[in-house]
């Protein structure tokens, strides 16, 4: 982890201004943190002392279950907050957050800003909006996972994460994210290839029939 100082910090503060999210002047309190790919930004089960706001890169929130299984709860992208649970709730089992690419965040220290943030209607409104969307998304993922087989959820995942017509996600990550075994994931990928929806190219897949995948994905949604 690297903390940007002086000119570099200043440059980021100017380029990615988040002043509009606050009524009070936030700039002086902001630290700018850079994390390398695969680095843990927050360790599961520990106490975090910052509210984070992502300005570059992306990250993943993980939880480890008692049976050793790991779940990828959610992806965090540019302009997302994380660490807000610790801000609002005195007692909280902290989830692990890992950078999936090089990631740059604003880190807002609790000890200097908690009181100010919790009094700031502008900030709280934005945070509530963010949380309401997040909670809706989680609810959607929850009910979808209960109501549809992997075929549908994977089709959606492929379309969401594909880079143009090429899909490049790591299978192991997808297992944690969709909550299926590696074995079963590969079965369904094999099916998609058999049916001609996808074509394997080295360790990537080319999307040949986006409409077919779309049909499978569409049944998930009504919102």
Strand pairing partners for 167? 205
Per rule CB under 7 A, is residue 3 in the interface with DNA?
A: no
111 binding DNA? (CB under 7 A): no
Answer yes or no whether residue 218 interacts with DNA by CB under 7 A. Answer: no
With 0-12 / 13-18 / 19 or more C-beta atoms within 10 angstroms meaning exposed / middle / buried, residue 148 is middle
Cβ proximity to a copy of itself, 41 vs 180, nearer residue: 180
Name the residue among 146, 174, 143, 170 with its Cα closest to residue 72: 174
Q: Please identify which residue in the block is written with the tokens 């994380």.
A: 82
User: How many CA atoms does the CB half-sphere of 179 hold within 13 Å?
Assistant: 15
Nearest distance from residue 82's CB to a copy of itself, in Å? 12
User: Does 139 interact with DNA (rule: CB under 7 A)?
Assistant: no
Rule CB under 8 A: which residues touch a copy of itself?
Answer: 63-67, 69, 71, 73-74, 84-85, 88-89, 92-93, 118-121, 124-125, 127-129, 131-136, 138-139, 141-148, 178-180, 218-223
Taking the mean position of all CA atoms in its chain, how far away is CA 93? 18
Q: Which is nearer to DNA, 11 or 69 (CB)?
A: 69
CB 17 within 8 A of CB 60: no
φ and ψ of 24, to 5 deg: -90, 160
172 binds DNA (CB under 7 A): yes
CA 41 – CA 3 distance, rounded (Å): 13
Closest approach, Cβ 21 to DNA, in A, equals 35
Between 48 and 98, whose beta carbon lies closer to DNA?
A: 98
Instruction: Please report whether residue 182 would count as binding DNA according to CB under 7 A.
Output: yes
Is residue 210 close enough to count as binding DNA by CB under 7 A?
Answer: no
Instruction: Residue 108: name the closest of 13, 178, 191 by CA.
Output: 13
Q: Closest approach of Cβ 136 to a copy of itself, in Å?
A: 6
The 10 Å Cβ neighbour count of residue 152 is 18
CA distance 197 to 220: 18
How far is CA 75 from each of CA 59, 78, 170, 204, rounded to the nearest angstrom?
A: 6, 10, 14, 21
| Segment near DNA (CB under 7 A); pick from 22-30, 83-91, 126-134, 198-206 | 198-206
Task: Tell me which DSSP letter residue 208 carries.
Answer: S
Query: Binder to DNA among 125, 171, 195, 218 (CB under 7 A)?
Result: 171
The residue among 101 and 143 lying less far from a copy of itself, judged by its C-beta, is 143
Quick one: what does residue 98 bind among a copy of itself, DNA, none, with the CB cut-off 5 to 8 Å set by partner type? none
Specify the residue, 125 or 195, whose C-beta has the smaller distance to a copy of itself.
125
Catalog residues that contact DNA under the rule CB under 7 A.
Answer: 149-151, 170-172, 179-184, 186-190, 200, 202-203
């Amino acid at each position: 982890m690297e903390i940007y100082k002086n000119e570099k910090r200043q440059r980021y503060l100017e380029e990615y201004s988040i002043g509009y999210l606050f009524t009070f002047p936030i700039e002086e309190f902001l630290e700018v943190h850079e994390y390398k790919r695969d680095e843990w930004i927050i360790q599961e089960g520990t106490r975090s002392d910052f509210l984070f706001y992502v300005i570059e890169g992306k990250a993943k929130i993980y939880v480890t279950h008692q049976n050793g299984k790991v779940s990828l709860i959610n992806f965090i992208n540019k302009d997302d907050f994380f660490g807000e649970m610790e801000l609002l709730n005195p007692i909280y089992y902290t989830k692990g957050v890992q950078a999936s690419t090089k990631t740059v965040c604003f880190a807002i220290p609790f000890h200097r800003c908690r009181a100010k943030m919790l009094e700031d209607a502008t900030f709280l409104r934005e945070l509530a909006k963010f949380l309401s969307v997040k909670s809706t998304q989680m609810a959607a993922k929850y009910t979808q996972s209960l109501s549809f087989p992997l075929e549908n959820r994977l089709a959606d995942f492929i379309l969401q994460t594909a880079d143009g017509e090429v899909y490049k996600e790591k299978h192991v990550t997808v297992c944690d994210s969709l909550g299926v075994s590696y074995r079963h994931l590969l079965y369904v990928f094999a099916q998609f290839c058999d049916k001609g929806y996808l074509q394997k190219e080295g360790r990537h897949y080319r999307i040949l029939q986006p409409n077919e995948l779309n049909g499978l994905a569409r049944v998930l949604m009504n919102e």
